[in-house]
Amino acid sequence: MDWWKDAVIYQIYPRSFQDSNGDGIGDIPGIISRLDHLQELGVGAIWLSPVYRSPNADNGYDISDYREINPEYGTMEDMERLIREAGDRGIRIIMDLVINHTSTDHYWFRQSRDKNSPYADYYYWAHGGADGSLPNNWTGFFGEDCWEFDPERCEYYLHLFAKSQADLNYHNPEVLEEVKDILRFWLRKGVAGFRCDVINILWKDSLASSRKRLALTGSEHYLSLEGTHKILRELREVLDEYGAMTVGETVFVSPQQARDLCGPERKELNMVFSFEHMECDQYFLKWFKRKFRPRVFFECLTRWQKELHWNAVYLENHDQPRSIPRFGSEKYWKESGKLLATLELTLRGTPFLYQGQEIGMLNFDFTRMRQLNDVESKNVEKVLRRFHIPQKLRWKIIKRTSRDNARTPFQWENGPRGGFTDGRPWLGVNHNCETINLAQQEEDPDSIWSWYKALSALRRETGALRRGSFEQLEAGNQVYAYQRTLGEDAYTVVLNFSNRPASAAHRGDVVMSNYGREQFDGQMRPWEAVILKVK
């Protein structure tokens, strides 16, 4: 039951994982060739970022055919082989379900341009004002207007993300039927579930203008509305026929809203990716960074641990900069990398690791705008220009927050192409590949990779670390400590989030220590992490 509560799930960003044919683009045969790596890590499922046919305006999050594989990534046969070969290793496949929008290249959208077509109402179409104004004053997620004029239909269509990602209209019941068919198509192929992209914004209750806000004006018309809950319950019926799991990416949700989306009695989603802990180091929007204060982070983690019966736990994904420079310390790269691993794998919930996290990959060392690929970074650069933000500041903002920080190719081995490709990689390989790569860490029992493997094994063997309760013991300016308990079995985790030493009052037998300690007297070195067995 609930296999996903015992599993570690691993996210693959297919474009950057492993290229198999030298075109510089990661692909499905490449993933298959690396399944042993994931098995060694003790991964129970892979969440595959989109591999469907797509013109790649947003690297696959703009789908033009839900039933075809993007030829850059391989064929449907390759995909079926991946499901089979992963299955042989006890690894399930979770697909990325992007159903808030499709690419404007999708057949539905192309047909929708004709008002007399059966697809006419698949999207949100609206007239602008007589004065040439847009249909409403909403603003989109990528910092631009969210209406685009289509000369063929002579109307605007809504796009909350990039211009070529048109929002689907769920007021038309046929759209939901289409989605159910897509689910069945993949479930019949043997996928175990879906990660559901921006799933709490599906339902727009009206297209009325609203009070102007610093960002996302109009969002009260679509964030976590009852219409979305209703859609999710309908989808759940299809999913239940196959015993499938879902994890929803849910933007701007409180713990209460998250519970309403994934509480077991709700029959909607199984878990959500919430963002609050990712927002601890920013003011309102990610472009405005503030100093990371561990205490705020701990309090946030504890709140979510307490308020949800179960949830997804993550520190990285393809939209976020890497976690070590953000929540840890590059100076204490190895220590803080292991500490963050300990945190993620001992909190209550299903851990989602992102490719490269297991070897402590860092942010992209790019130096020029043209080294970037991400549509969001490019749009935001334009917006900042429009607001006359000086070049230096623009660069600082983009550099720190660009999603490409997490999208550089996986560093398998030393070398200019990192073992990722024999050709020219679609996005630069980080120059630190010489010192941060899997081959080297495999040789080293003290590496971040070895630590992840050991932690994952410990979690697998230890019921208390998987299903046990969570109790916070301490959340100070630098030390976070908590206990996980199942029956008689209890473990204390103590983490020092600082370049400075600390002392802690917790005691027990050392199970794991990132300083190789055998005994723990409460004196903690920088970025020290210990797991203690409570006597």
In the bound complex, what is the minimum distance in angstroms from residue 251's beta carbon to ligand ISL? 5
Q: In the complex with ligand ISL, which residue's Cβ is closer, 375 or 495?
A: 375
Are 20 and 423 a contacting pair, CB within 8 Å? no
* Binding-site member from 14, 16, 19, 320 for Ca ion (CB under 5 A): 19
Q: How far is the CB of 15 from Ca ion (least distance, A)?
A: 9
Say which entry of Ca ion, ligand ISL, none residue 25 contacts (CB below 5 to 8 A, set by partner kind).
Ca ion
Minimum distance of Ca ion from residue 25's CB (angstroms): 4
Q: Which of ligand ISL, Ca ion, none sits in contact with 232, Cβ below 5 to 8 A by type?
A: none
- Residue owning tokens 């089979």: 84
Q: By CB under 6 A, name the one of 198, 272, 280, 324 that touches ligand ISL.
A: 198
Look up tokens 């404007």; give the residue: 104
Q: Which does 19 bind (CB under 5 to 8 A by kind): Ca ion, ligand ISL, none?
A: Ca ion
Q: Which of 158, 196, 251, 312 binds ligand ISL (CB under 6 A)?
A: 251
Asked whether 128 and 109 are in contact (CB, 8 A), the reply is: no
Among this protein's residues, is 167 annotated catalytic?
A: no
Q: Which CB, 34 or 101, lies closer to ligand ISL?
A: 101
Cα(337)–Cα(27) distance, integer angstroms: 28
Which helix (H) or strand (E) covers residue 166, if one does? strand 165-167
- Of 3, 5, 23, 137, the residue at the interface with Ca ion (CB under 5 A) is 23
Of 196, 491, 452, 236, the C-alpha closest to 348 is 491
CA angle, 72 then 89 then 70, to 5°: 10
Residue 58 binds to ligand ISL (criterion: CB under 6 A): yes
Site string for ligand ISL, 497-516 (x = CB under 6 A): --------------------
For residue 287, give Cα distances in angstroms to 143, 329, 395. 11, 21, 11
Q: How far is the CB of 42 from ligand ISL (least distance, A)?
A: 25
- Spell out the long-range contacts of 180-185 with Cβ–Cβ below 8 A and sequence spacing 24 or more: 180/234, 180/235, 180/238, 182/66, 182/67, 182/97, 182/99, 183/97, 183/235, 183/238, 183/239, 183/244, 184/238, 185/66, 185/67
Shortest Cβ 122–ligand ISL spacing (Å): 17
Q: With 0-12 CB in 10 A as exposed, 13-18 as middle and 19+ as buried, what is 424?
A: exposed
Is residue 144 within the footprint of ligand ISL (CB under 6 A)? no
Distance of CA 199 to the CA centre of its chain: 13
Describe the strand order of the beta sheet including 155-158 as a list of residue ranges: 125-126, 155-158, 147-150
Which parts of 92-131 interact with ligand ISL (CB under 6 A)? 98
CB of 375 to ligand ISL, least distance (A): 7
Among all chains, which residue has been given the structure tokens 């809950």? 229
Torsion angle of the four alpha carbons 488, 489, 492, 493, in this order, in degrees rounded to the nearest 10 = -150
Structure tokens at 261: 């989306």
Q: How far is the CB of 288 from ligand ISL (least distance, A)?
A: 12
| Closer by beta carbon to ligand ISL, 249 or else 358 | 249
Annotated catalytic residue within 58, 197, 268, 281: 197
Report the residue number, 7 or 247, with the smaller CB distance to ligand ISL.
247
For residue 222, the Cα-to-chain-centroid distance in whole angstroms is 21
98 interacts with, out of Ca ion, ligand ISL, none, CB within 5 to 8 A per kind: ligand ISL
Q: Is position 249 annotated as part of the catalytic site? A: yes
- Closest approach of Cβ 32 to Ca ion, in Å? 12
Size of the site for ligand ISL (CB under 6 A): 14
Distance from C-alpha of 268 to C-alpha of 336, rounded to nearest angstrom: 36
Of 19 and 319, the one with the shorter C-beta distance to Ca ion is 19
Q: Which of ligand ISL, Ca ion, none does 197 bind, CB closer than 5 to 8 A by kind?
A: ligand ISL
Stretch 25-64 residues interacting with Ca ion (CB under 5 A): 25, 27
Other beta carbons less than 10 A from residue 526's beta carbon:
19
Q: Does 78 bind Ca ion (CB under 5 A)?
A: no
Q: Which of 58, 249, 281, 319 is catalytic?
A: 249
Spatial contact of 162 and 379, defined as CB atoms under 8 Å apart = yes
319 interacts with ligand ISL by CB under 6 A = yes
Q: Which of 10, 108, 141, 426 binds ligand ISL (CB under 6 A)?
A: 141
Determine the Cα–Cα distance for residues 227 and 456; give it in Å rounded to an integer. Answer: 39
Site for ligand ISL contains 222 (CB under 6 A): no
Comparing CB distances to ligand ISL, the nearer of 320 and 498 is 320
Please give the distance of CA 251 from its chain centroid, rounded to a whole number.
12
The whole-angstrom separation of Cα 361 and Cα 337 is 9
The contact pattern for ligand ISL, residues 268-287, with x = CB under 6 A and - = no contact, is: ------------------x-
Q: What is the DSSP letter of 139?
A: B
Using DSSP, state whether 45 is helix, strand or coil.
strand
CB of 289 to ligand ISL, least distance (A): 13
Among 155, 358, 376, 528, binds ligand ISL (CB under 6 A): 376
Q: By the criterion CB under 5 A, which residues form the site for Ca ion?
A: 19, 21, 23, 25, 27
Q: By the criterion CB under 6 A, which residues form the site for ligand ISL?
A: 58, 61, 98, 141, 161, 197-198, 249, 251, 286, 318-319, 376, 403
> Catalytic positions, please?
197, 249
